[in-house]
Amino acid sequence: MKQIKQKVVVFTGAGISAESGIRTFRDSDGLWEEYNIRDVATPEAWAKNRELVLEFYNKRRKQSLEAKPNPAHKALKDLEKKYDVIIITQNIDDLHERAGSKKVLHLHGEINKCRSTVDETLIYPMKKEGIKLGDKCERGSQLRPHIVWFGEMVPMMDLAYEVASTADIFIVVGTSLVVYPAAGIINYVSANIPKYLIDPNEINVSGIKNLTIIKEKAGIGLPKLVENLLK
């Protein structure tokens, strides 16, 4: 008889891609030190200066194309040998997919896709050169990055809560846990299951039961944790 695999839900943030060379947002060299969120990552920014917004995301896309999955992404792929692994990521890069992970839910969108500004269900693969002003969807509206901006709804949130609530093991990697609603996901996880948090810096988590904090970089801490879980 086939044994049902335990479900491991992994919630990832920018820190898991840091060792691949993709900048995080809130570390000292983070993107939000160089840019103002309001100028590049909000509907207001899009209304005010589309060129600047497109330039920002075209840069992000170039950076993510140049990056390669690191040992942390690869460890999560290895975890599939024994577990049903579902990754809920805040990241817009595709490094989890490129490492081979099968189930990845992108809460904040995907940098390799663009979409219509009049119909959010019209989603397209991004062209090699990124989006330019004047690039249009089939209904004639300007294309925008397939990104959830600050102030916009997170369409996958309910699904993510549901997935988190059915986890047998929950792992958090490389997120400052300050951006809501995504950060609230940890509150949907059952109190009784084992939880792990991997981050080299201090993260503000209190009142979470059965939580083991691993104060290491993802590329070191995650492969070690996965090795233990595979034993």
Instruction: Compose the 22-61 pattern: x for residues touching ligand APR by CB under 6 A, - for all others.
Output: --xxxx--x-------------------------------
Among 11, 217, 225, 229, binds ligand APR (CB under 6 A): 217
Integer Cα distance of 90 and 71 in angstroms: 19
Q: Which is nearer to ligand APR, 6 or 161 (CB)?
A: 161
Shortest Å distance, C-beta 4 to ligand APR = 31
Q: Which is nearer to ligand APR, 194 or 200 (CB)?
A: 200
Integer Cα distance of 118 and 116 in angstroms: 5
The answer to whether 195 touches 189, Cβ cutoff 8 Å, is yes
Considering the candidates 96, 106, 108, 146, report the single residue annotated as catalytic: 108
How many binding residues for ligand APR (CB under 6 A)? 23
Residue 108 a catalytic site member = yes
Beta bridge partners of 213: 197
Q: Which is nearer to ligand APR, 110 or 137 (CB)?
A: 110
Distance (Å) of CA 223 to CA 5, 64, 67, 206, 218? 20, 22, 19, 25, 8
Stretch 73-92 residues interacting with ligand APR (CB under 6 A): 90
Residue 213 touching ligand APR (CB under 6 A): no
Residues 6+ apart with CB under 8 A from 154: 107, 108, 148, 181, 182
Integer Cα distance of 73 and 97 in angstroms: 9
Q: Which is nearer to ligand APR, 8 or 183 (CB)?
A: 183
Instruction: Compose the 182-211 pattern: x for residues touching ligand APR by CB under 6 A, - for all others.
Output: -----------------xxx-x--------
Shortest Å distance, C-beta 42 to ligand APR = 11
The answer to whether 205 touches 186, Cβ cutoff 8 Å, is yes
Cite the DSSP H helix spans in the chain: 15-18, 31-34, 37-40, 43-48, 50-66, 71-78, 95-99, 157-165, 218-230
What tokens were used for 189? 């996880």
Shortest Å distance, C-beta 221 to ligand APR = 7
Q: Which residues contribute to the site for ligand APR (CB under 6 A)?
A: 13-15, 18-19, 24-27, 30, 90, 108, 174-176, 178-179, 199-201, 203, 217-218
Supply the residues annotated as catalytic.
Answer: 108
